[in-house]
Amino acid sequence: MSGQSWLSQLKEHKIIAVVRAPEVSLTRQLALAVASGGMQLIEITWNSAGATELIAQLRVELPNCTIGTGTLLNLQQMREAIAAGAQFLFTPHVDPVMIKAAVDIGVPIIPGALSPTEMVTAWSSGATCVKVFPVEAVGGVRYIKSLRGPLGHIPLIPTGGVTLENAKEFLQAGAAAVGLSSQLFPKEFVETGNWEAIAQKAQNLIQTIS
């Protein structure tokens, strides 16, 4: 997937569902649930059990979704993720070597940054977008709004503090998209296997931001 194609999808869908679970079957079920609720952009964290196999499987099971991965810490993990079929890559940090490698291969990479210096470094290194993580720790919506003046040319994706209630505020403040994880998967729904309720949460969020 080209960087331009990724940015077009972000503009259209605006939400990335971040799926993380200790068992492959559960991670798969959570991904299927949010997809049935209308989520198109799904991130399987690399530290989920069986992430390699699951990414490849979901590419087949959810052909209309874009399946990527996150929490990539080094070049080796990134290469394994790309080989598994990951269509976009998130990292929690800025690593110019990883960014260049992803750009050379042609896979969108979104490094995590917190300060303006890190964001500009990531962007200058070729990042497709920049993940602002953890955004809650530095002011949430107000921080994104304050960044848009000097860094309006950089597409920002806040995570780590985005909720069902404030997702629209982040987008209105200038975020290109938002990433949500636990907010989409309430513990009681996961423990009882209430996949329909999770799908409904995803659907409600999509309607809220549209």
| Domain CATH code at residue 44 | 3.20.20.70
pLDDT of res. 65 = 98
Q: Are 40 and 13 in contact (CB under 8 A)?
A: yes
pLDDT of res. 190 = 96
Q: Residue 11: which domain range?
A: 3-209
Q: How many domains does the chain have?
A: 1
pLDDT of res. 49 = 87
pLDDT of res. 210 = 86
Averaged pLDDT score across all residues of the chain:
96
**Starting at the edge strand that comes first in sequence, how are the strands of the sheet with 89-91 ordered?**
156-158, 130-132, 109-113, 89-91, 66-70, 41-45, 15-19, 178-180
Which residues form the catalytic set?
A: 43, 131
Residue 94 has pLDDT above 90, yes or no: yes
